[in-house]
Structure 1
């Protein structure tokens, strides 16, 4: 199905290359494939699995499977127009085109998983891109809700990461909304 504009065919997001990037796993294979992809970033896979089971989070090294862009939660909430977690999750999944992102319970920031090496070229003010040799506390799949770190948009496939322009657009829109609503 395609969208039309005044009788002309308009390109839909996937035709423009605007979709989460990665290999697609199917059905029952999806969750183990995504876990395997995330655990490829662990220094010690056994310890990472144990920490996920015991604490719901584990430290993973950026720069291997992914880099991570840290976006201040206030910008995310301004962009979404809400602090309600369920509505925030729906907004983030749409804004990031299904790309993986989670809220960190300690810092209250959003972390968007992006392609490895993004940190070498990321220049979006008000954010930080964690790359090679940085460690990130990543929640286990299925962990939801406060008070712990949890996914707003879980990885849907192995290697699926956020599209960098979608993350940048989220930040720019959040700054715009914060300024126009008197919050920044």
Structure 2
């Protein structure tokens, strides 16, 4: 088993699922996400028409693509509420899931340029991510953990620690 060189962050003290956001908080999160595009109006139009908008990465946020199996291994479940509770407790930042298949990956949103040398694939400039409007579920993409506030992103140390736990679990098995 490899060593973790960075300090190991602990999960938040209250490991419960994310409390529901108010309508105003959802609107603020949506506005912040729409600003990732050069023309936010096109994002709003896509959300209205399709429920999902393609947002460019590398400007306001990057994404780490984590296979569903890896998330479910570390969580110990593939049950949506359980996954949401664990990811909220550990990451305290926005996470989406691609639902085009039962094995659809999770996308952890991180700051552009944030230090990342972990096992998950980093998606950045030149890539677009299908993002559901906060508060609206679609068949293609859903929020597992909504942005707790506008501009919130996941800390890469927390992501690294969570994924290291997955590697440890696979070694034990």
TM-score normalised by L of structure 2? 0.79
Q: Please list, as runs of the form range in 1=range in 2, the aligned pairs for 1:64-103 lying within 5 A after superposition.
A: 64-96=59-91, 98-103=92-97
Instruction: Structure 2: state its 5+ residue gaps.
Output: 1-9, 13-20
Deviation per residue, 1:30-68 (Å, 9 max, x gap): 222211210111243222112112222110011111111
Query: How many Å separate the matches in 1 of 2:23 and 2:136?
Result: 18
Q: Which residue of the other structure, out of 123, 127, 135, is the alignment partner of 1:134?
A: 127
Equivalent position of 1:158 in the other structure: 150
Q: Aligned pair 1:114/2:110, yes or no?
A: yes
Is the contact between residue 106 and residue 149 of structure 1 (CA under 8 Å) also seen in structure 2?
A: yes
Instruction: Structure 1: state its 5+ residue gaps.
Output: 1-11, 15-25
User: How far apart are 1:140 and its partner, in Å?
Assistant: 1.1
Is the contact between residue 11 and residue 90 of structure 2 (CA under 8 Å) also seen in structure 1?
A: no
Q: Which residue of the other structure, out of 161, 170, 177, is the alignment partner of 2:169?
A: 177
Structure 1 moving runs of 4+ over 3 Å? 26-29
- Residue 37 of structure 1 aligns to a residue whose secondary structure is helix
Query: How many Å separate the matches in 1 of 2:151 and 2:163?
Result: 23
- Residue 151 of structure 1 aligns to a residue whose secondary structure is strand
Deviation per residue, 1:131-150 (Å, 9 max, x gap): 22321111110134x74310
Q: Aligned pair 1:124/2:122, yes or no?
A: no
Query: How many Å separate the matches in 2 of 1:117 and 1:30?
Result: 26
User: How far apart are 1:129 and its partner, in Å?
Assistant: 1.0
CA pair 135-91 structure 1, distance change in 2 beyond 3 A: same
Equivalent position of 2:18 in the other structure: none
Query: How many Å separate the matches in 1 of 2:116 and 2:11?
Result: 23
